[in-house]
């Protein structure tokens, strides 16, 4: 019998990036709209740096994606960055899995065709497909494993 731990269930490679995105809460009881930065992405979700916290489980819309589309997600976690809590790392789980980030030559374990998540509700905001012509054409910072810098504390 196979036992699946959280580490064993990770299904795709995470990439360190800096992608500006707009985040909007889809929960009318908890309004939120902010320009944020995705600092870690995978084909199942992302880590977003925000100046405000969001409650776990909140449905959100990520828009202004590199391909010009948008995608729905839910807040999976929200952690303060640093001791002053002026910024938060919001973990978002995409309802539609895939390369919504427009990354050219994504890791082999990414499913580049958007697929609905097994535990998701149908998402009406499927991202537009976009294929940059070369890695230099992708306009956002992609950090390689050897050149990463730790997050600074303010």
Q: Mean pLDDT, the chain, as a whole number?
A: 76
Structure tokens at 87: 């910024």
Please tell me the predicted confidence (pLDDT) of residue 95: 93
32 to 23, 130, 146: CA distances (angstroms)? 8, 28, 36
Strand, coil or helix: 146: helix
**Hey, where are the domains in the chain?**
15-103
Q: What percent of the chain clears pLDDT 90, i.e. is strictly above it? A: 44
- Per-residue pLDDT of 11-59, as tens digits, reads 688 999 999 999 999 999 889 999 999 999 999 999 999 999 999 999 9
Q: Which residue has the tokens 């697929």?
A: 115
Q: Which of 11-15, 56-60, 112-116, 144-148 is least confident?
A: 144-148
Closest CA relative to residue 24, chosen from 73, 76, 60: 60
C-alpha radius of gyration, the chain, whole number: 15
Which of 29-34's residues contact partners 24+ apart within 8 Å by CB, and which partners?
Answer: 30/54, 30/55, 30/58, 32/58, 32/60
Average pLDDT over residues 66-90: 90
Half-sphere exposure at residue 57, Cβ-oriented, CA atoms within 13 angstroms: 1
Please tell me the predicted confidence (pLDDT) of residue 78: 94
- What's this model's pTM, rounded to 2 decimal places? 0.68
CA distance 60 to 45: 12
Q: In the CATH scheme, what is the code of domain 15-103?
A: 2.40.10.220
Task: Identify the band that residue 113 occupies on the pLDDT scale cut at 50, 70 and 90.
Answer: low
Q: Which residue has the tokens 């600092």?
A: 39
Strand, coil or helix: 51: coil
Q: Which of 2-16, 18-32, 71-85, 118-132 is least confident?
A: 118-132
118 to 27, 44, 91, 96: CA distances (angstroms)? 22, 11, 18, 9
């Amino acid at each position: 019998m196979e036992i699946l731990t959280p580490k064993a269930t990770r299904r795709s490679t995470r990439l360190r990036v800096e992608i500006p995105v707009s985040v909007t809460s889809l929960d009318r009881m908890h309004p939120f709209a902010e320009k944020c930065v995705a600092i870690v992405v995978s084909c199942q979700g992302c880590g977003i740096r925000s100046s405000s916290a969001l409650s776990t489980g909140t449905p959100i819309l990520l828009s202004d994606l590199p391909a010009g589309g948008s995608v729905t997600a839910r807040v999976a976690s929200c952690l303060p960055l640093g001791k002053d809590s002026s910024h938060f790392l919001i973990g978002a789980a995409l309802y539609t899995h895939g390369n919504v980030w427009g990354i050219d030559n994504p890791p082999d374990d990414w499913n580049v065709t958007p697929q609905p998540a097994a535990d998701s509700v149908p998402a009406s905001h499927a991202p537009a497909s976009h294929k940059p012509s070369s890695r230099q054409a992708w306009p956002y910072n992609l950090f390689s494993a050897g050149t990463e810098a730790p997050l600074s504390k303010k």
